[in-house]
Amino acid sequence: MKVGAVIITMGNRPEELRALLDSVAKQDGDPVEVAVVGNGSPLPELPEGVRTVELPENVGIPAGRNAGIEAFGPGGSDVDVLLFLDDDGLLAREDTAQLCREAFAADPELGIISFRIADPDTGETQRRHVPRLRASDPMRSSRVTTFLGGANAVRTHVFEEVGGLPDDFFYAHEETDLAWRALDAGWQIDYRADMVLFHPTTAPARHAVYHRMVARNRVWLARRNLPALLVPVYLGVWLLLTLARRPSRPALRAWLGGFKEGWASPCGPRRPMKWATVWRLTRLGRPPVI
């Protein structure tokens, strides 16, 4: 299988980007082709052979990654598998690309692999980086219902069948949107603890824009993908959870503003998943109401 890698950058981490590219170049097996997307910033000097895309403005994470996909032909058709890696990450092992080849070759229904993110100093994995509800044991691999945006591998046939990431989301929940569409089309998603991306431990930003986009995109995610009966249940649960977490007054104001925006603004094409997919998500441990 031919493997490529998509990395988006805003030009503010040149040393980390170079270290990541070095870790990709050291992968076992055939060389991994790389596309680097400058998301509203010029690109630094890059190794020979790297495909480059310079976007005139910051179009957000999903649109930036979609531009990287297209750098490998329509829907990434020049390669069989695409790795998506944060520009301040680092592949911890040299066999990750080969493990991806073997996993996709062994299971024709496997569409997406979510890597384990670990702190480079402590080796610890934050619970929020384990894409399932039972997240206490990050060393356990399993089938899951979503994946981590900056540490994953996707079979390019998935993009050909269900399309790319939702451009308008800009940031937050774009991975779950793609995951639900892929699952509805019959693909499987795996979390693999042995495929590791080193990444410094960070907390998600808690500024107003973060809260607004998280809330807006949550509404869009439901409106785009869930059967009509589940939309109010899913969003009602998240509203109650948000209130139970007792956010600050400015954070709650931003969240409620985003929630309202999600209902008032276009969410893109609506393709509600089949009830069989709802049951499948439930059997995997995460019914699409929580």
In angstroms, what is the C-alpha Rg of the chain?
18
Distance CA 91, CA 102 (A): 17
Q: Span 21-46, mean pLDDT?
A: 97
Average pLDDT, the chain: 95
Residue 188 dihedral angles phi and psi, to the nearest 5°? -105, 155
Query: What secondary structure does DSSP assign to 237-262, as a single string?
Result: HHHHHHHHT---HHHHHHHHHHHHHH
Task: Using pLDDT thresholds of 50, 70 and 90, give the confidence band for residue 204.
Answer: low
Task: Using pLDDT thresholds of 50, 70 and 90, give the confidence band for residue 202.
Answer: confident
219: pLDDT strictly greater than 80 = yes
208: pLDDT strictly greater than 80 = no
Distance CA 27, CA 234 (A): 41
Q: Span 270-282, mean pLDDT?
A: 97
264: pLDDT strictly greater than 80 = yes
In terms of C-beta density within 10 A (0-12 exposed, 13-18 middle, 19 or more buried), how is residue 256 classed?
Answer: middle
Which three-class secondary structure state does DSSP give residue 5?
strand
Task: Using pLDDT thresholds of 50, 70 and 90, give the confidence band for residue 233.
Answer: very high
Task: Using pLDDT thresholds of 50, 70 and 90, give the confidence band for residue 159.
Answer: very high
Q: What is the DSSP letter of 138?
A: T
Residue range 178-192, pLDDT digits in tens:
999 999 999 999 999
Distance CA 244, CA 263 (A): 22
Q: Span 93-98, mean pLDDT?
A: 98
Residue range 116-140, pLDDT digits in tens:
999 999 999 999 999 998 899 999 9
Are 132 and 98 a contacting pair, CB within 8 Å? no
205: pLDDT strictly greater than 90 = no
Cβ neighbours, 10 Å, residue 240: 10
Provide the pLDDT for residue 209. Answer: 87
206: pLDDT strictly greater than 70 = no
Q: What is the DSSP letter of 272?
A: P
Which three-class secondary structure state does DSSP give residue 185?
coil
Helix (H) or strand (E) segment spanning residue 110: strand 110-118
Provide the pLDDT for residue 21. Answer: 98
172: pLDDT strictly greater than 90 = yes
Distance CA 103, CA 98 (A): 9
What angle (nearest 5°) sits at the alpha carbon of residue 179, between those of residues 177 and 182? 110
pTM of the model: 0.95
